[in-house]
Amino acid sequence: MNQNTPDILTFGEAMTLFAADAPGDLAEVERFSRSCAGADTNVAIGLSRLGFKVGWLSRVGEDCFGRYLRASLEREGLDCRHLITDAEHATGLVFKERAVGGADPRVEYRRHNSAASKLSPADAQDVDFSTLRHLHATGIPPALSASCRELSQFLLEKARQHGTSVSFDPNLRPTLWASESEMRDTLNGLAAQANWVLPGLSEGQLLTGQTSAHDIAGFYLDQGADAVVIKLGPEGSYYRGTLTGQDETFTVAGVPVETVVDTVGAGDGFAVGFVSAMLDGLDPRQALKRANLIGAEQVQVPGDMEGLPDRERLDQLEAATAA
């Protein structure tokens, strides 16, 4: 394997985030802090911080926001050889309220007709699937446009053809879809290509029509998944799968958090924990413990990915939890 080639690939839309420095209506806020946003980039950054070689496939505009994102992602160690600069479309923007009391912050997007929404399978023609160890996908790219949907299907199919493991987080964005049925059918079709499916409980209920974690997991296992991990928020997470060679079902309790600062990015931190643990060779129970732990870290900071630990910090957290 080429040592300079990433062994994990992520893709989607990175946006420049402007987060309010003080609580209140966005119309009244005068100062914002700039950073990166996007569920897919959060996971990419989290895995890169843990020492994995992560590639990022996307499009940004030929504007200051696109240049900022490229520089920021490269500083985080991401391989941006598949990050295309689009001279005809702008980089997406997002503005986020400073939430109080652990509430979900309000956000406003400027992403219509963005550079990333123009992604298509043509942008992935140079991807060397023979070197990839893992592909992480979410339900956000296929919600952006028909061509993004085609890209998602192309990448998941190619990854499975090459024996690359695939994780899929539905990451529902209902307002981006023409209809709930289109969202459900598309995302369930993509989940059928994944080894590890990672929905939240309410997401799984909406997508499958099932109510219990057990039955939601059964739906995706019947489609071909090897494991389904369902996020239960503060209560932890639920596992059902065959990763150890036998059918297993269990729940791992959540990590207590004294103060929830910002819930954005918690699910992405969870995905970082589970995927990294599986790629590290840990068993499913250990993987859920790490996923719960990183998700809990993420809700204790105001940013979308500032709580994602590097390897040294993760080792400290896991040692403290074990003790």
Catalytically annotated residues: 268
Each residue of 195-208: b (16+ CB within 10 Å) or e? bbbbbbbebbbbbb
- The DSSP element (H or E) to which 59 belongs, if any, is strand 54-61
User: In the numeric block, which tokens belong to residue 263?
Assistant: 């819930």
φ, ψ dihedrals at 225, nearest 5°: -65, 150
Question: Under DSSP, is residue 35 helix (H, G, I), strand (E, B) or coil?
Answer: strand
DSSP bridge pairs for 10:
56, 136
Quote the CA–CA distance of 100 and 105 in Å, as a whole number: 8
User: In the numeric block, which tokens belong to residue 171?
Assistant: 């990451």
Q: What Cα–Cα distance (Å) separates residue 38 from each residue in 34, 141, 173, 179, 284?
A: 13, 10, 12, 22, 26
End-to-end CA distance of the chain: 38
